[in-house]
C-alpha cells in the first residue's frame, strides 16, 4: 500500500483474507511447530524411507510452513463456508 492508494490493505479482500485466514493459522502454526518438534527430533523423522532434513533448522522451517498451509486451508474453508467466497461480512 502506498499513501496514494485510496483503499488501505485492511479494506481490500486480499487484506481481509490475510487477516482472517493467514494470520490465525500463522499463530497456530507457531504453537503446533513448538509442540510437535519438542516431542519429535527431526533427525529421527524418516518419511517414506527418506531422511527429510539435512539440518534441523530446515526441518523446523519446512514443518512450520506445512503447518501454516494446513491451518490456512482450515481457516479458508471456514471463511468460505461462513459467507461464501467474499468471506465474513463482519
Provide, rounded to whole angstroms, the least separation between the CB of residue 47 and another protein: 19
Provide, rounded to whole angstroms, the least separation between the CB of residue 17 and another protein: 10
d(CA 84, CA 68): 22
Question: Are the beta carbons of 86 and 13 closer than 8 angstroms?
Answer: yes
Under the rule (CB under 8 A), what is the footprint of another protein?
1-16, 18-20, 22-24, 26-27, 34-35, 37-39, 41, 55-58, 60-61, 86-90
d(CA 65, CA 85): 24
Provide, rounded to whole angstroms, the least separation between the CB of residue 50 and another protein: 20
d(CA 44, CA 10): 43
| Closer residue to another protein, CB minimum distance, 19 or 77 | 19
| Closer residue to another protein, CB minimum distance, 40 or 77 | 40
| Closer residue to another protein, CB minimum distance, 27 or 80 | 27
Grid cell 487477516 — which residue?
19
For helices 23-39 and 56-83, angle between their N-to-C axes, nearest 10 degrees: 140
Amino acid at each position: 500500500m502506498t499513501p496514494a492508494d485510496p483503499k488501505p490493505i485492511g479494506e481490500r479482500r486480499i487484506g481481509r483474507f490475510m487477516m482472517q485466514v493467514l494470520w490465525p493459522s500463522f499463530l497456530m502454526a507457531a504453537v503446533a511447530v513448538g509442540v510437535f518438534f519438542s516431542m519429535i527430533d527431526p533427525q529421527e523423522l524418516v518419511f517414506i524411507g527418506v531422511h527429510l532434513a539435512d539440518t534441523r533448522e530446515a526441518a523446523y522451517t519446512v514443518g512450520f510452513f506445512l503447518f501454516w498451509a494446513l491451518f490456512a486451508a482450515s481457516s479458508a474453508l471456514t471463511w468460505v463456508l461462513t459467507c461464501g467466497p467474499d468471506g465474513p461480512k463482519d
